[in-house]
A and B are shown apart, each in its own frame.
Chain A
Amino acid sequence: DTGVSQNPRHKITKRGQNVTFRCDPISEHNRLYWYRQTLGQGPEFLTYFQNEAQLEKSRLLSDRFSAERPKGSFSTLEIQRTEQGDSAMYLCASSLGMNQPQHFGDGTRLSIL
Chain B
Amino acid sequence: AQSVTQLDSQVPVFEEAPVELRCNYSSSVSVYLFWYVQYPNQGLQLLLKYLSGSTLVESINGFEAEFNKSQTSFHLRKPSVHISDTAEYFCAVSSSGGGADGLTFGKGTHLIIQP
Give me the interface of A with B, judged by CB distance under 8 Å: 4, 6, 31, 33, 35, 40-48, 55-56, 58-59, 91, 93, 98-99, 101-107, 109
Contact = CB atoms under 8 A, between A and B. Distances in A.
Contacts, number: 70
A107 B43 contact: yes
B49 to A, nearest CB: 5
B103 A102 contact: yes
B40 to A, nearest CB: 11
Given A42-B90, A99-B101, A91 B44 contact: yes
Interface of B: 4, 32, 34, 36, 41-46, 49, 51, 90, 92, 94-96, 98, 100-108
Nearest to B42: A106
A4 B46 contact: no
9 contacts: A4-B43, A33-B101, A42-B90, A43-B90, A43-B105, A59-B100, A91-B44, A104-B43, A107-B42
A101 B101 contact: no
A103 B102 contact: no
7 closest residue pairs by CB, A with B: A45-B102, A42-B105, A104-B43, A104-B44, A106-B43, A56-B100, A105-B43
Contact of A41 (B43, B92, B107): B107
A98 B103 CA distance: 11
